[in-house]
Amino acid sequence: MTTPTVRLCHLYPDLMNIYADRGNIAVFQHRLAWRGVRLEVTEVSLGDALTGEHDLYYLGGGQDRDQDLVADDLQTKAAHLRSAADDGAAQLYVCGGIQLAGHSYVAANGDRLPGTGVLDLETTAGTSRLIGDLVIDAELEGESHRVVGYENHVGRTALGTGCRPLGTVVHGYGNDGASGAEGACRDRVIGTYLHGPLLPKNPWLADIVLRWALDHRYGDEAPALEPLDDHYESAARTVAEKRATLNR
């Protein structure tokens, strides 16, 4: 029998990896392997053509100069990403990734970086940095879970009517420090400022993204993701949540 496989496209891993984003890829790989599913990773960077079909796309965070480098190149890939999202592929954008997944990001110096338009949002740099532990109540697939991480961004992100927040801020700042919203979602696309990396402490979120990816590849014949023993992950999430409470 052929081993079930999820095809992941990791965008700009050499540039957009400032917040240990490869840790998120490792979580995907191991949580699949423990269920007998293989993860096939294709790394795509500057000048590389984005071709073929993938079940999951990932873009992490980078410094401003890295985002500058990536933004123009990403325009050559934007149509592919929008089409993949419309086709039901899973996509996860973290920190700087969520800014480039929108329509544009206006930097502190006034420069406008074009985005892919996968998510209906706009981001503008603020005058202060939003930094610290971040805790949200996230809702996906009719389920609500506490999700934790770290945020460090100057961006103020405003959502359009074409997407909704990933969750509601419990501790921290979220998209803009004022609205109480964090992240953005549409179909099987998620953008968030949560990093650290995001997925090791939030296995529920990791498994939702993986289930989407498997559904994209196999449809009704997608292998089930059997429950795993996540007591270590739960303990780490509890510690992060307590730290966020103490630091506010």
pLDDT for the residue numbered 168? 98
> What is the reported pTM?
0.97
pLDDT for position 248: 60
Residues 6+ apart with CB under 8 A from 83: none
Least Cα distance to 241 among 182, 197, 201 occurs for: 201
Which residues 6+ apart lie within 8 Å of 2 measured at CB? none
Residue 161: per-residue pLDDT? 97
- Residue 26 CA to residue 200 CA, distance in Å, equals 9
Rg (CA), the chain: 17
36 exposure class (CB count in 10 Å sphere: 0-12, 13-18, 19+):
exposed
User: Which residues, in sequence order, are CB contacts of 62 under 8 Å at separation 6+?
Assistant: 12, 15, 16, 17, 18, 70, 96
Residues labelled catalytic? 95, 195
What domains appear along the chain, each with residue ranges and CATH number?
Answer: 5-246 (3.40.50.880)
Q: What distance in Å separates the CA atoms of residue 183 and residue 166, rounded to the nearest whole number?
A: 5
pLDDT for 79 equals 97
> Peptide bond preceding 197: is omega within 30 degrees of 0, i.e. cis?
yes
């998120």: which residue's tokens? 24
pLDDT score recorded for residue 18: 82
pLDDT score at 39: 98
Place of tokens 């917040």: 19
Q: Can you give the pLDDT at residue 108?
A: 87
How confident is the model at residue 165, as a pLDDT? Answer: 98
> Coil, strand or helix: which one is 61?
coil
The pLDDT value given to residue 20: 78
Spans of the chain, pLDDT less than 70: 1, 247-248
